[in-house]
Chain A
Amino acid sequence: MPLIRGKKGGASGETSDAQQGALDSPDADSRWTAARALTGQAEAVPALALALAREPIPRVREAMMTALIRIGNAASIEVILPYLRSQDAGVRAAAIEALQAIPDAIAPFMTPLLNDGDSDVRLLATELARNMDASEATRLLCELIEREQHPNVCAAAIDVLTEVGTPEALPTLERCAARFASTPFLPFAVSVAMSRISGQES
């Protein structure tokens, strides 16, 4: 077999301005490369926001969201949040997944998200509580459940509590089961959540 050493390509040395400009490129690969090069540059948030809004290619959207979460400040999170409302399930999935990767940065946004007027947003936001401290997650999700009318939002919150819930959640869960006693699935969900949570004490 031939003995060959591989060649090494060089990394691009372009400036941030040039990369931000390339976010506009008609070529998907150029937009992808530009997004990946802007990692960690807070001044790129506005350009990334504009580019993300018109990006049709899923993998390039991924890279733009990665660039934003690697910046990870409030401004970059504000750019991603509206995509939780997208009609496109793939876009919503990408947004939630990006936000899940930055649990510390997303913490200040949890209360507004769990109080959002859109039940779909509240539902998706419950998932973000999974990576939080157990007591904090329990508090937030119980507050949500106590006032929540939509069974699917409650179901999503109960799913997270099944993993992270502390015994403080038990009274809220009982009340929830009573409220939704004649709704399919909810009583089952509560019962499993309660047995997993109280399983700690046995």
Chain B
Amino acid sequence: MADIATPAKAKVLVVDDSSLVRLYYRSALETAGFEVKQAINGIEAMEKVLSESFDLVIVDVNMPRMDGFTFLRSLRSSAADVATLPALMISTESGEQDIAEARVAGANFYLVKPVAEAQLVRHVCVLTGAAL
């Protein structure tokens, strides 16, 4: 867990409407030394990325009011400092077309649910350039 002596490796925003998923990712990532914030849908995620500086956003697809794809498109058409935020999309879909669509919308990487803790941490380390 990050503390004053050991600063967080990076700051990650977890966006998923499931409280259990957010809890799962947060606990894995905090244990690995990341600072984690959360949002419940794409609108809250936009508010957070516009207000604080993150190193990575992890985004679900099916969320109320603003889904993950709409959020990514909105992110990528924002001001420059926010538009380039790396995004890891995590979806229930594993089809080629879904992965391609994610790339087009602006995802940097794509994982299929359910994601194992070790797998998540590994990908977040790679995507934030943090030590494994």
Contact = CB atoms under 8 A, between A and B. Distances in A.
Question: Do A and B touch each other in the complex, judged by CB within 8 A?
Answer: yes
Contacts of A90: 66-67, 69-70
Contacts of B78: none
A100 interface: yes
Interface string B61-99: 111111111100000000000000000000010000000
Interface in A7-60: none
A188 B24 contact: yes
Contacts of B21: 155, 159, 185
Interface stretch (B5-13, B49-57, B112-120): B112-120
Interface string B101-132: 00000000000011111010000000000000
Contact of A100 (B64, B66, B119): B64
Contacts of A152: 92, 113-114
A114 B78 CA distance: 38
Interface of A is mostly: helix
Contact of A186 (B23, B62, B68, B114): B114
B31 interface: no
A61 to B, nearest CB: 13
Contacts of B19: 159, 162-163
Given A120-B92, A152-B92, A155-B113, A189 B20 contact: yes
A158 interface: yes
Contacts of A102: none
Interface string B14-29: 0000111101100000
B18 A89 contact: no
A183 interface: yes
B70 A159 contact: no
Interface of B is mostly: loop
A89 B20 contact: no
A183 B23 CA distance: 17
A75 interface: no
A123 B21 CA distance: 15
B20 A184 contact: no
A92 B20 contact: no
A189 B18 CA distance: 10
A156 B21 CA distance: 10
Contact of A151 (B18, B68, B114): B114
Contact of B20 (A93, A100, A124, A159): A159
Given A120-B92, A156-B18, A186-B114, A92 B62 contact: yes
Interface of B: 18-21, 23-24, 61-70, 92, 113-117, 119
17 contacts: A89-B67, A90-B67, A93-B62, A93-B65, A93-B67, A123-B62, A152-B92, A152-B114, A158-B20, A159-B20, A162-B19, A162-B20, A184-B116, A188-B24, A189-B20, A192-B23, A193-B20
Instruction: Give the 5 A-B CB pairs with smallest separation, nearest first.
Output: A184-B116, A89-B67, A185-B114, A159-B18, A184-B114
Given A159-B21, A185-B116, 12 more contacts: A89-B61, A90-B66, A93-B63, A93-B66, A96-B62, A96-B64, A123-B62, A127-B64, A156-B18, A158-B20, A183-B114, A185-B24
